[in-house]
Amino acid sequence: MYSENSQRNQKVLANQNIGPFRTKRLFLIIMLFLLAVFPAEIGEYTRAALEDAYIGVSVFVAMTLAFFYFAEKISGNNISELFKKAKFAQVPLASFMGALPGCGGAVVVVAAYSSGSVSLGAVVATLTATMGDAAFLLIAKRPDVAIILLPTSFIVGIITGYVVDIFDKTRENTSLKIDSISLINVTKNRQFLYVIYSIIVIPGFIFAVLGLLQYEFNEYVTQFITTISFIGISIGMLIWATSSIKTMTNPKETTISRMSEETSFITAWVILAFLLFEYATNIAGLDLQSWFEAVGILVPLIAILIGFIPGCGPQILVTTFYINGLIPFAALIGNSIANDGDALFPAIAINPKVAIIATLYSSVPAVIVAYGFYFYIPNYLTP
């Protein structure tokens, strides 16, 4: 049944493609290119956002994913078996998987639940702890905040997971395996792109680290950084425009292919968030800070509600608002605890009822923690 549905979906996707390109993504890239070469202010802001997205975020995402996937290849651990053996330690292990940057760890826990390997509390723990792909943006831009927020989400995930397990004694088995959850197999004729993208990442990462260390670059080096940024962005967008990635890549693929695919996917969302912010504040002239200040006490609640939206795009936008000083830390951590990132998609596909219940459960600690910071530590980690 699954193979028939998969073939049918592939045929539908093929009809929507233009050659190797996915039509909607190709259209967005063309629009992005036109905006970048536009001579007025909009072109200047677009180019600045693209460079910032690559040097400020993409290279850190790429190196982090490369490390995780290389370690995964070496260890070769069977996650489902590990969870079965963990027993009482399932919840903290699941929370740790969720707290890892990106959505891969949370997706693995959701898949383990589908085969009866983990409890509902473990699923709630991982969805509570995960910040999704927005974690990469926060780590790259505000590591001082990330080192506080991520462990906090991890602890909240453990507490919430154990509370859920105390009251929930059910264990459903839908007999699905992780291989059936939208894992993307990359095509062999794209390997050249992956290699070039990986090579470009290395100097980009070096200059990004030097930038964080406040190293002053001369004019020629600055121009070189701009050049490799646009080469990296261009190759990444080419990979993204021809990719079918939705949640995570197949663990059977090579490290550089998985890193390139998922970094490009995350970069596309980061670019969108950065551009929305730049255009709204500098082109449209919207005073977002005044608007958020006017909303006041409702800001954390709004951020939590945004966290209910599946996917990482809206959450990356919330993190962008925090980084630019528009919303308080209370709103950021509320969104982090409430959001499930891309892990919600396979959860809905496997068991919609459990996905909804787990999301609602995670909203309780999100409200408690967010408003705890809002009322009792209002100036904590002010942007």
Q: Say how far apart CA 46 and CA 54 lie, in whole Å.
A: 13
Give pLDDT tens digits for 11-52.
444 446 776 778 888 888 899 889 888 888 888 889 988 998
pLDDT level of residue 229 (50, 70, 90 thresholds): very high
Cβ atoms 41, 282 nearer than 8 A: yes
DSSP 25-44: HHHHHHHHHHHHH-SSHHHH
- Provide the residue type at 150 as one letter: L
Given a cut of 90, whether residue 154 has pLDDT beyond it is yes
Which string of DSSP letters, residue by residue, matches 179-248? Answer: GGS-EEPPPGGGHHHHHHHHHHHHHHHHHHHHHHTTPPP-HHHHHHHHHHHHHHHHHHHHHHHT---SSE
The number of C-alpha atoms within 13 Å of 339 and in the hemisphere containing its C-beta is 35
More reliable by pLDDT, 158 or 192:
158
Which residues have a Cβ under 8 Å from the Cβ of 198 and sit 6 or more positions away? 62, 66, 256, 259, 260
pLDDT at 370: 94
Q: What is the mean pLDDT of residues 109-134?
A: 83
Greatest mean pLDDT among 177-191, 235-249, 281-295, 322-336: 322-336
Domains of the chain, by residue range, sit at 47-376
Does the pLDDT at position 153 exceed 80? yes
- Read off the pLDDT band of 149 (50, 70, 90): very high
pLDDT at residue 1 greater than cutoff 50: no
Q: Which amino acid is at 195?
A: V
Residues 6+ apart with CB under 8 A from 196: 235
Residue 10 has pLDDT above 70, yes or no: no
Dist. CA 217–CA 223, nearest whole Å: 10
Token pair recorded at residue 330: 């209370």
Average pLDDT for 173-189: 48
Q: Which amino acid is at 225?
A: I
Q: Band the pLDDT of 319: cuts 50, 70, 90.
A: very high
Stronger pLDDT, 135 or 64, i.e. the higher one: 135
The amino acid present at 343, given as its one-letter code, is: A
Separation between Cα atoms, residue 333 and residue 153, nearest integer Å: 8
The pLDDT confidence band at residue 187, using thresholds 50, 70 and 90, is low
Residue 277's Cβ-side half-sphere holds a number of Cα atoms within 13 Å equal to 24
Distance CA 182, CA 249 (A): 8
Kindly report the number of other CB atoms within 10 A of residue 279's CB atom: 16
pLDDT reading at 326 higher than 70: yes
pLDDT band at 180 (very low <50, low <70, confident <90, very high): very low
pLDDT of residue 16: 61
pTM for the model: 0.76
Q: For 355-380, how does the pLDDT look when each residue is reduced to its tens digit (9 = 90+)? A: 788 888 989 999 999 999 999 887 66
Query: What angle is formed at CA 371 by the lines to CA 368 and CA 376, rounded to 5 degrees?
Result: 115
